[in-house]
Amino acid sequence: MLKWQIGDVTVTQIVELTTASLGPHLLPQATPDEMRAIPWMTPFVDDNAKLILSMHSLIIESSGQTIMVDTCIGNDKERAYPRWNKMQGDYLEKLTTAGFSTEQFDTVLCTHMHVDHVGWNTRLINNQWVPTFSRASYLYAEEEWNHWREEEQEYGPVIEDSVQPIFDAGLASLVESTHRVNDEVVLEPTPGHTPGHVSIHISSRGEEAIITGDMIHHPCQIKHPDWSSTADVDTVQSADTRHKFLKKYANQPILIIGTHFAGPTAGKVVKDGDSYRLDY
């Protein structure tokens, strides 16, 4: 479990699982030979230079609020990907070990509505999907919701079991992609991976951090921002968003926390020749 301090704000990582099996599908450009050619990539690949992806939540403690960012895959859910189908993981136990209870969360933020970002929005109790964080307000970018409520789903009934029950319980709020959660936490639109995708920008006492979401899946896309994921709804827009993001934040004292980055998970983006690298 990793933890970062940004001014008065604390960010805590809760890892559901890590995998090296998704990389060839998500980023086929990132071959082992390509990865071995990047000296700083070692913490983010396995011994065979295959991409490691981490499925984790990031908990923000800010201005007296406890905010959950992305809720991973979830248990008991029908999913097309075999390892995730009817999964029985220890996510909630890890949450408790880290010192959090499901009842203490004020807000749940989903950077977007893909299967591995909304799963623990709900849990199965008495054969019904009920909100896991029953006292929280779940905030969704309105543009994201408008896309997925009509879009065909690839991995299973994700909206039906992990998003719609939140609306049914009256806990969902649709917000702008620039919504300010409080004085320290604001949404930052980073479209392309999905139409309403957002990153989370944290500012406190002159320090800053950004939680990427899937605008950057893996640190290799910092070196190669043109590498779009096969999961991107708009590969041209996602690459353009990455280029603009990296240009804007390179060589700035801003901590970049990757939603799927394994290893150290966070670092600062710095210029590296005609591209960029993650300084961790």
CA nearest neighbour of 235 among 192, 273, 269: 192
The domain limits of the chain are 3-279
Q: Specify the pLDDT at position 40.
A: 98
The percent of residues in the chain predicted with pLDDT above 70, rounded, is 100
Structure tokens at 37: 């050619």
Q: Specify the pLDDT at position 154.
A: 83
Q: Specify the pLDDT at position 205.
A: 98
pLDDT band at residue 225, thresholds of 50, 70 and 90?
very high
Give the number of other Cβ atoms within 10 Å of residue 110's Cβ: 26
Q: Specify the pLDDT at position 157.
A: 95
pLDDT tens-digit readout, 140-193: 999 999 999 877 788 899 999 999 999 999 999 999 999 999 999 999 999 999
Question: How many residues in the chain?
Answer: 280
Q: Specify the pLDDT at position 119.
A: 98
Contact 268, 219 (CB under 8 A): no
Q: Specify the pLDDT at position 152.
A: 76
CA angle 43, 49, 53 (to 5 degrees): 60
> How far apart are alpha carbons 55 and 52 in whole angstroms?
10
> How far apart are alpha carbons 137 and 166 in whole angstroms?
9
Identify the helix (H) or strand (E) that includes residue 20: none
Those residues with Cβ within 8 angstroms of residue 28's Cβ, 6 or more apart along the chain or in another chain: 230
> How far apart are alpha carbons 36 and 17 in whole angstroms?
24
Q: Specify the pLDDT at position 150.
A: 79
CA nearest neighbour of 94 among 38, 20, 14: 14
Which whole number is the average pLDDT over 97-101? 98
Q: Specify the pLDDT at position 236.
A: 98
- Predicted confidence (pLDDT) at residue 90 exceeds the cutoff of 80: yes
> HSE (CB half, 13 Å, CA atoms) of 62?
29
Q: Specify the pLDDT at position 151.
A: 74
- Predicted confidence (pLDDT) at residue 100 exceeds the cutoff of 80: yes
Mean pLDDT rounded to a whole number for the chain: 97
pLDDT tens-digit readout, 115-152: 999 999 999 999 999 999 999 999 999 999 999 987 77
Q: Which amino acid is at 239?
A: A
What is the third-level CATH fold of 3-279? Metallo-beta-lactamase; Chain A (3.60.15)
pLDDT tens-digit readout, 259-278: 999 999 999 999 999 999 99
